[in-house]
A and B are shown apart, each in its own frame.
Chain A
Amino acid sequence: MSLVQKIEDTVVNLLRLAVTRLPKDVKDALKTAYEKEVDETAKTQLKAILDNIMLAEKTERPMCQDTGVIIFYVKVGNEFKELGKLPEILRTATIRATKEIPLRPNAVHPISQKNSGDNTGRYIPYINWEIIQGDFLEITAFPKGGGSENMSRLGMLKPGEGIDGMKKFVIDTVLHAGGQPCPPVILGVGIGGGADIAMKLAKKALLRPITERHEDPEIAKLEQELLEAVNESGIGPMGLGGRTTALGVNIEYAHRHPASYPVGVVVQCWAARRASARIYSDGAVEYLTHEVGEK
């Protein structure tokens, strides 16, 4: 099999894994939330979510009918062969996955309102590139649902408001969203950079397993503090009340302009779908987020 074909097959596989099987950290967090919950209504919601996840795995069907807009995060080694063909491969794989899995066609032209029917379009699937050293490629498929995305917000705060302003903005975003983004949610928070950078970092923060804290102990502390605060809101699973409103808060930051303090919050629903694999130039494939048997 050619390397190009191998990459295409792997990407289709990643999309299938992402929409049918949640990563272990998210599944474990939902189970813990269920065990910790005392509110009967909240327990019912969490139990149904867990049953739904199990059933999706068993029947290999998408866990949610909204299979999201297709986003890829690609880290590519400078020595990796076929670098130039990657955009085309990701597009072809997306079209194939849409038919084979199937995924809901979710790419709509913003002016004509026409749905392309195959999850591709201008800039879609969206690809985030990162160049690294080496002869391998790391691809993460990240299908992101629309309901939770709609609750995401950008705040261009005054530097004088500082960290307190940032905390307040995150809390206000969650309280404003209530049950709409299908909680329990995961919050990706991006601080600094500029308007676009803060939002990009907020979404990128969602790639990190919620069991891992930021390497900077100050940021790690903020993540924990905000998670506890959000869970005191009482919004609970599906906004019907309860202890668990969020499963995790992941923060990422960049240095900022002296005059700006951008804060991006990207809200992720309980169906926190992501799947990654590493592909070497010799065609060897290693799955990073899911246990996969030889195909």
Chain B
Amino acid sequence: MTTYRFKTPVSEEDVRKLRVGDIIYVSGTLVTARDEAHKRALEYYEEGKKLPVDFEGIALYHCGPIVKKVNDEWIAVAAGPTTSTRMDLFEAEFIEKFRVRIIIGKGGMGERTTEACKKYGAVYCAFIGGAAVLAANAIKRIKGVEWLDLGMPEALWIFEVENFGPLTVTIDSHGNNLHREVMSRVEANRDTIYKKLKLKG
């Protein structure tokens, strides 16, 4: 387990160094995207339209923040991660088309995303569910917002962050998936627990 500090843009070479269990802190540009933004970005790609944000090498954050406007400037009040599995529908394609290198969320992602991370060189990192203040504290400035018509949580929020983390690499670019590993160990523990409680399986 190694700790890394990255500044965006992050290269494929950078993320290929990472292994499941490593801790990273990200500085630079972080862009939020949930279901709707993923969907629209891929539609834009199909139609050959230019995206308002270049995703290559930056960090993508599954998050619907609480923001408020103070004197014409947006401020992040709370910005914890949302459940990533919902984005499994889009993420493999998103990685392939836009070459995003770091994906941040909670709860892990599935096989297709794991495969895409391996093939194109990306990692998925888990951030602590609910750690809203810790996250907001690392957001130094909101550089901009795009697609606000999708609503506050679904818009693309462009954050400038400093030492955003700790982020635990749970899907690396070598085919490892910590969520899958833990859940298979947990499944193996089921019998031990049943036995301990003298239960029939």
What residues make up the interface of A, taking CB atoms closer than 8 Å to B? 40-41, 44-45, 47-49, 51-52, 55-56, 59, 61-66, 102, 104, 145, 147, 164, 167-168, 171, 175, 178-180, 182, 225, 229-230, 232-236, 238-241, 269-271
Q: In the complex, identify which listed stretch (B28-36, B52-60, B90-98, B177-185) lies at the interface while the others stay far away.
A: B177-185
Q: Which residue of B lies closest to A105 (CB)?
A: B66
Task: Name the 8 nearest CB pairs between A and B, nearest first.
Answer: A64-B130, A65-B78, A182-B129, A65-B132, A52-B131, A52-B134, A241-B182, A55-B133
Contact A49 B131 (CB under 8 A): yes
| Shortest CB distance A77–B (Å) | 36
B193 x A41 contact (CB < 8 A): no
Query: Could you say which residues of chain A place their CB within 8 Å of the CB of B187?
Result: 175
A171 / chain B contacts, CB cutoff of 8 Å = 190, 193-194, 197, 199
Cβ-defined contact, A65 with B179, below 8 A: no
CA gap between A178 and B185 in the complex, in Å: 11
- Do B134 and A147 touch across chains, with their CB atoms under 8 A apart? no
- Cβ–Cβ < 8 Å partners of A62 in chain B: 78, 132-133
Instruction: Enumerate chain A residues within 8 angstroms of B200, measured Cβ to Cβ.
Output: 164
Q: Is the CB of A64 within 8 A of B80?
A: yes
> A238 touching B126 by the CB < 8 A rule?
yes
Asked whether, in the complex, the Cβ of A234 is within 8 Å of the Cβ of B185, the reply is yes
Q: How far is the CB of A267 from chain B (nearest CB, A)?
A: 13
Given A179-B107, A229-B196, A233-B190; 18 other pairs, CB 8 A cutoff: A41-B178, A44-B23, A49-B131, A52-B130, A55-B134, A64-B78, A65-B130, A66-B80, A164-B197, A164-B199, A167-B199, A171-B193, A229-B193, A230-B193, A238-B106, A239-B179, A240-B178, A241-B178
Q: Is the CB of B186 within 8 A of A234?
A: yes
Cβ–Cβ contact A63 & B182, under 8 A: no
Q: Which residues of B contact A225 (CB under 8 A)?
A: 197
**Nearest CB to that of B106 among chain A residues?**
A238
Separation of A102 and B187 alpha carbons in the complex (Å): 41
Q: How far is the CB of A18 from chain B (nearest CB, A)?
A: 14
- Chain B residues closer than 8 Å to A233, beta-carbon distance: 186, 189-190, 193
Cβ-closest chain A residue relative to B20: A41
Given the contacts A48-B128, A233-B193, A178 and B23 also touching, CB distance less than 8 Å: no
How far does the alpha carbon of A86 sit from the alpha carbon of B55 in the complex, in Å?
52
Complex Cα gap A232–B196 (Å)? 10
Q: Complex Cα distance A51/B77, Å?
A: 17
Structural contact, B132 and A63, CB atoms closer than 8 A = yes
Minimum CB–CB distance from B64 to chain A (whole Å) comes to 8
In Å, the complex CA distance between A140 and B95 comes to 47
Docked-complex contact A65 and B183, CB < 8 angstroms: no
CA distance A193 to B137 in the complex (A): 46
